């Protein structure tokens, strides 16, 4: 690979509204995130954390500036190309788990592989393996409503890994679970990181953030690296 950076941003900005009522959610951000990095993004609410997360996750398009994911400029891609990047390169973990309520644990994981066009038999096999990895092999056919918060988040982690993404984007992954489950989830993420996966965790919990290799603080749309 030409570039060992998995994500590079160039003067990345996001504004809402038009001058003079323009709001800068993110200003002129230049980031270099390497393969295998473990990054925490911290900041108070309204600081631009979600905006940065949405941009890095290809859920939103920048107003100006560029984002390169594995060397490809994604800031000019259309919706369907972005969808392809999301399913091939990025695994999302959300604070509220965001599993599909009508599908059971196995089907939730298979769904994202389905969008990627993976053969159905292969999907089931891999989904089972992933659920085993997060210690949920006894919960394969449980629906989200039949699982605890911690269990749902572990299904979500398994889902995020389903398409072998280059980056895992976790938005407050422990925000909705008890301390013990939170610890469990963080150790799974760190285990994945040790195996070489790039992890980006967004949190305002400092204890969570300090476990990361790098901490990026964001305030009023400006990102600064914090050295710990």
Residue 115 in tokens: 């969008």
Pairing of strands 23-34, 5-16: antiparallel
Q: Does 95 bind other proteins (CB under 8 A)?
A: yes
Candidate segments 36-44, 47-55, 64-72, 205-213, binder of other proteins by CB under 8 A: 47-55
Report which of 96, 160, 100 is spatially closest to residue 133, judged by C-alpha positions. Answer: 160
228 contacts other proteins (rule: CB under 8 A):
no
Q: In the β-sheet with 72-73, what is the strand arrangement from edge to edge?
A: 23-34, 5-16, 64-69, 72-73
Binds other proteins (CB under 8 A): choice among 28, 35, 115, 183: 115
For the window 50-69, what string marks contact with other proteins as x by the rule CB under 8 A?
x--xx--x-xx---------
Quick count: other Cβ atoms within 10 Å of Cβ 102?
10
Q: Specify whether the CB–CB gap between 195 and 133 falls below 8 A.
A: no
For the bound state, the minimum distance from the C-beta of residue 80 to other proteins, rounded and expressed in Å, comes to 5
Question: Smallest distance, Å, CB 23 to other proteins?
Answer: 16
Considering CB under 8 A, how many residues would be counted as binding other proteins? Answer: 35
Assess contact for 161 and 90: CB atoms under 8 A.
no
Region of 67-75, 89-97, 192-200, 217-225 interacting with other proteins (CB under 8 A): 89-97
Task: Decide: is 103 part of the binding site for other proteins (CB under 8 A).
Answer: yes
Q: Which residues of 186-210 are buried (b: 16+ CB within 10 A; e: fewer)?
A: bebbeebbeeebbbbbbbeeeebbe
Binding residues for other proteins (CB under 8 A):
45, 50, 53-54, 57, 59-60, 79-80, 83-84, 86-88, 92, 94-96, 98-103, 110-112, 114-117, 120, 159, 163, 171
């Amino acid at each position: 690979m030409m570039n060992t950076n998995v994500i590079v941003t160039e003067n990345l900005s996001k504004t809402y509204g038009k001058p003079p009522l323009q709001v800068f959610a993110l200003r002129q951000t230049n980031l270099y995130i390497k393969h295998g990095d473990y990054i925490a993004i911290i900041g108070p609410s309204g600081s631009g954390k979600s905006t940065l997360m949405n941009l890095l996750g290809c859920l939103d398009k920048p107003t100006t500036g560029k984002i390169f994911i594995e060397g490809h400029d994604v800031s000019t891609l259309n919706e369907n190309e972005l969808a392809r990047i999301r399913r091939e390169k990025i695994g999302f973990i959300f604070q509220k788990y965001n599993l599909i309520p009508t599908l059971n644990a196995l089907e939730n994981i298979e769904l994202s592989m389905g969008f990627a066009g993976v053969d159905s038999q292969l999907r089931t096999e891999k989904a089972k393996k992933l659920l085993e990895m997060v210690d949920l092999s006894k919960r394969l056919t449980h629906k989200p409503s039949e699982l605890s918060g911690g269990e749902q988040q572990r299904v979500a982690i398994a889902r995020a890994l389903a398409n072998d993404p280059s980056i895992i984007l976790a938005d407050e992954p422990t925000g909705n679970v008890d301390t013990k489950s939170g610890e469990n989830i963080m150790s799974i993420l760190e285990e994945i990181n040790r195996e070489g996966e790039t992890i980006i965790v967004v949190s305002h919990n400092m204890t969570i953030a300090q476990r990361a290799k790098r901490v990026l603080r964001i305030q009023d749309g400006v990102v600064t690296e914090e050295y710990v």
